[in-house]
Amino acid sequence: MTQTRSERNDGLGIQDGEVERLCLQHQVWRSRALDAWRRAGFTVGQSLLDVGSGPGYASFDLADIVGPKGKVCAVDRSARFVEALRERARRCGYGNIAVHCRDMTVDGLPVMDGSMDGAWCRWIFAFLRQPAILLDALAAALRPGGALVLHEYLDYRTWRLAPRSLLLERFVSEVVASWRDAGGEPDIALDLPGWLTDAGFEIRELRPMIDVITPASFVWQWPASFIDVNLTRLVELGRIAPALAGEIGAEFQARSQEPSSLMITPTVLEIIAVRR
């Protein structure tokens, strides 16, 4: 389960329902993001970066935090997502969001003069072939004392069902393999703390985040929506046969109807770091 980009060879593809899926994903993770931003000191009047903004669900929350005297600089490579963000900002009267369509590892960030007060990035580094380039760009964008908040996967293979499902574990294995074949690294958070220190950041907080949930939990809908989209993608890539995709989908649907089913989500690491 992660954000994906329509114009990026990121290993997880994009389907017609991706904008809607990302909305659901943000709703599931919104409370944790808001809490992290509060602890990082994001507040009224600041200038903040939303890196890999997608359709902008976090951008609008950040814009509400900084208010009309602050600004949010939202950046994404997908022209489709950027256009969706711009249109909503125009329609809803958000004059404090500046939207940029660019490849951050090629073109850098729109602001790299050390003037930004903070930056937010969720499930972006895991898809980059050269993540150090983005780290250097963030270091250049943030002022001394500026806060960087990251959510990245620490151990994707903790995503399992209880009782155990070998079919879901096969699905997860194929997702991880396709991700790495495309040049990304799902467990990128194993490396990020050390890289951040080398890039001129001080680590302030590290928090692992993992849930054990039943089908009654709203969080269940997040992985469920990812499975729906990515079974088709894995078949198209030739990684699994259509019959196997059908078996995986059917079993997951059956387990979703059992109130006693448990799901363990992929482990995410929250990092709050400050530019030295």
pLDDT in tens, the chain (276 residues): 543 333 333 444 444 478 888 999 999 999 999 999 999 999 999 999 999 999 999 999 999 999 999 999 999 999 999 999 999 999 999 999 999 999 999 999 999 999 999 999 999 999 999 999 999 999 999 999 999 999 999 999 999 999 999 999 999 999 999 999 999 999 999 999 999 999 999 999 999 999 999 999 999 999 999 998 899 999 999 999 999 999 999 999 999 999 999 999 999 999 999 999
Which DSSP helix (H) or strand (E) runs through 61?
helix 57-66
Domain boundaries, the chain: 18-275
Domain 18-275, CATH 3.40.50.2300 — does that match? Answer: no
Q: Give the span between the Cα atoms of 239 and 225, in whole angstroms.
A: 19
- The torsion angles phi and psi of 230, rounded to 5 degrees, stand at -90, -15
* Residue 17 contacts residue 229 (beta carbons within 8 Å): yes
Q: What are the angstrom distances between the C-alpha of 37 and each of 76, 147, 237?
A: 20, 9, 38
Report the b/e string of 4-15 with b at 16+ CB within 10 A: bbbebebbbbbe
- Alpha carbon separation from 208 to 32, 71, 79, 193 (Å, rounded): 12, 30, 32, 13
